[in-house]
Structure 1
Amino acid sequence: MQFAQQARTLAVRTVRHAALAGVLLASAVTAMAQTDTPAGTWQTIDDSTGQPKALVQITQDSNGLFDGKVIKGLGANNQPDRRCSACTDARKDQLILGMTIINDMQKDGDGWDHGQILDPENGKVYKCKMHLEDGGNKLVVRGYIGVSLLGRSQTWVRQQ
């Protein structure tokens, strides 16, 4: 009788451990999926002050292309009525909040390339490339004219 009870206890513990292992594995797979792609929410940093500037949400469309839009201004940029007065394209005088500033990024080797990024501060549109660092927690975004040597990079931080 005692042996049967010990076997039953061991079986229950084994099932619990297996269930816990399954939950942990699923969490790890989800975390990995979120960190091997630029999809997610990113905190941008102001080049001149080093302070958080905005939150940009990057999403993947049905064609596998990535776009990013401003979902929140931070600090001095937290002005919902702020407009892109310097823009020269269809975004001229449009609200920056909700504006798509990254277009058509596509997977290219270890990064994403062949897209464009708008700098709402000066209204200019640049070619763009980006890659992940720090286990997918940082996104290095480079805007450039012509060749990528002629540009600047920003490191954005993934938000959970």
Structure 2
Amino acid sequence: MIKKILFAVLGFGLISTSVMAQDISGVWRHIDDKTGTSKAHIEIRKEANGTYTGKIIKVTPREGYTPKETCINCPAPYTNKPILGLDVLKGLKFDKGNMYNSGKILDPLSGKIYSMNAKLSPNGNRLQMRGYVGISAIGRSQTWIRNTAVQ
């Protein structure tokens, strides 16, 4: 009897750990795939419908770069909106395991919106983002790193 209870508690613990590992909510550092430097901090939140949305909460200053303040070339409803606080990731859905799909991501520098998929690393600290037009094979990947520091 005690063994059954112990296995049940252990089983529930493993299930809750795997569910928590699937959640991408939190603050992420957006890493530039060309320079390897941090570009921005994005806060990802889970919406009531189960999808994920991410907004820019900090733009990281970098040498030789003056950040834009508004989304000038962006389509409506993003046109001329402040970049800080802008929802750049929308509709990302958990698929299975560590995979997410069906999202849209806005590049506030170019004003282009891309379809996107993401893969969470096994330790939950890296999010490999893939933005594309048409098919995923023709696209670009970026890594976001979970910001574990207290904000």
TM-score between both structures, scaled by the size of structure 2: 0.79
Deviations 1:89-138 (A, max 9, x none): 21011111000000011111231111100011111000011010141000
TM superposition shift of 1:156: 0.6
Partner of 1:73: 59
Structure 2 residue aligned with 1:7:
none
Once the 2 structures are TM-superposed, how far is the Cα of residue 74 of structure 1 from its aligned partner?
Answer: 0.7
Opposite residue 122 of structure 1, the aligned amino acid is S
Which one-letter code corresponds to 1:43 in the other structure?
R
Matches within 5 A, 1:71-110: 71-76=57-62, 82-110=69-97
After superposition, the C-alpha distances for 1:69-90 in whole angstroms (9 at most, x for unaligned) are 00001123785x7111121221
Query: Residue type matched to 2:119 in 1?
Result: H
Task: Report Cα offsets for 1:13-50 as digits up to 9, x if no partner.
Answer: xxxxxxxxxxxxx9xx9987654321111000123322
Aligned twin of 2:131: 143
Structure 1: 5+ residue stretches without partners? 1-25
- The structure with the largest alpha-carbon Rg is 1
Determine the structure 1 residue equivalent to 2:22. 36
Describe how 1:119-138 pairs up with structure 2 within 5 A: 119-138=107-126
Taking only aligned residues, the RMSD between alpha carbons, in angstroms, comes to 2.4
Residues 159 and 32 from structure 1, CA distance in 2 versus in 1: closer, same or farther, beyond 3 angstroms?
farther
1:35 and 1:137 map into 2 onto residues whose CA distance is: 10
User: Given the superposition, is the C-alpha separation of residues 74 and 30 from structure 1 closer, same or farther in structure 2, using an over 3 Å criterion?
Assistant: farther
Identity of aligned residues (%): 35
Q: Counting helix residues as a fraction of each chain, which structure ranks higher?
A: 1
* TM-score normalised by structure 1 residue count: 0.74
Aligned 8 A contact 2:33 2:141 in 1: no
Measured in 2, the distance between the counterparts of 1:131 and 1:89 equals 29
Count how many residue pairs are aligned between Structure 1 and Structure 2: 133
- Report the secondary structure of 2:123's partner residue: helix
